[in-house]
Amino acid sequence: MNRRASNIFRRVARPARRPRPADLAERVERAERLDPVIEAAQSAARRVLPPGPVRDLLNGVPFGHPAHAPMTDLPVGCWMSAAVLDLLPGGRRAAGALIATGLAGAVPTALAGLADWSTLHREQQRVGLVHALGTATATVLYSASLVARARGRDGTGRVLGFTGLTALLGGGYLGGHLAFRQAAGASHADPVAHLVPLGWHDLCPVAELPDGWPVSRSLGYISLFVLRTGDDVHVLTDRCSHLAGPLHQGRIVQDGDDELCVVCPWHGSTFRVRDGSVVHGPATGRQPAFETRVSDGGVVQVRPIS
C-alpha cells in the first residue's frame, strides 16, 4: 500500500467525533460567564428561603432524601402524557387537564429545586441554572399552550405543548447530569459498611482528645469527627453527607432538645453528634455514627452503629 492510499485509509477510519450531550453539559460546568447571574440568584434565593422549617421541608429533611427529584415526576409525567394524548383523537380535554395539573405541580417543584441549588458547588450551580432555564421555558410554553386551548386554538396549543416538551427534555437531561454525573443530592459520607470491618477498633488515646473541641482522627481509609465532652466521646464520619464538608471544622451547638450538634462549615447542615441524625439541611441523609467505649488502657474504641 503506497503512502497516499495509507493516508486516505486513516482519514476514512477516523471520522470526526461529534459532540455528545455529556460534552455539552461539561462545557456548561466550565461556563464562568454564568457566575454573575448565579451570585445574584443565590443571594435572592437565600432571602426568599432562609434557614428554617420551610427550607428543611423543601430540602427533604423529613423524608430522608432530597425532595426535588421525586417532585418532578408530577409535572414531567403529566406533560409527557399530554403529548401522547395530543397524538390521539378525542384527547383534547384530558390533555388540557394534564397540562394544568403539571403547571400546579411545577411551582413547589421549582421551590424545592431552588432550595437545593442555592447550596451547591459552583460547577453544579452552573448546570443547575441552565437546567432551571430549560424547565422554566417549558413551564411558560405549557402555560401558553393551556391558554390557547382554552380559547379554542387547539392546533396552536398542541404546537406550544410539543415545543415545551422539547425544552423540558433538554432541561431534564441537565438535571440528570447534575444528579448522576455531579452527584448533587447523593450522600457524600464515607460508606462505612464497606470500609470498616465488624467489631471494635482502637482509635486513639482518650487523653489526647481536647474536651469540648472536635478533632479529626483516621480509622483505616476514612476520617472521623471526634468530640469528647467530659467522659463521653462522640464519633461520626467526618465527610458531611451533603457535599463532603469537613465536620471537625464546624461549630458545636445545641438543638431545641439540648442535644449537642455539629454544624457543617460549608453549607450549614446540622447533625446530632449522638447518632448523626439530621437536624437541619441541606443534608438529608444521616451522618454515619459510631458506638464508643474507653478501654482499661485509656484507648478510645469505636464500632459503626448499624
Q: pLDDT tens digits, residue range 213-249?
A: 999 999 988 999 999 999 999 999 999 999 999 999 9
Kindly state the cell numbers that stand for 174.
441537565
Q: Are 174 and 158 in contact (CB under 8 A)?
A: no
Coil, strand or helix at 219: strand
Q: Is the pLDDT of residue 41 over 60?
A: yes
| Residue in the structure block whose three cell numbers are 461529534 | 18
Radius of gyration of the chain (CA): 26
Confidence of residue 198 (pLDDT cuts 50, 70, 90): confident
CA–CA distance, 33 with 127 (Å, rounded to integer)? 12
7-32 pLDDT per residue, tens: 544 554 555 566 688 889 999 999 99
What percentage of the chain has pLDDT greater than the value 90? Answer: 83
95-128 pLDDT per residue, tens: 999 999 999 999 999 999 999 999 999 999 999 9
Structure confidence at residue 10 (pLDDT): 53
Structure confidence at residue 2 (pLDDT): 57
CA angle 24, 106, 136 (to 5 degrees): 40
| Residue in the structure block whose three cell numbers are 453527607 | 241
Task: Over range 158-164, report the average pLDDT.
Answer: 96
Q: Is the pLDDT of residue 81 over 60?
A: yes
Structure confidence at residue 8 (pLDDT): 47
Q: Name residue 291's beta-bridge partners.
A: 303
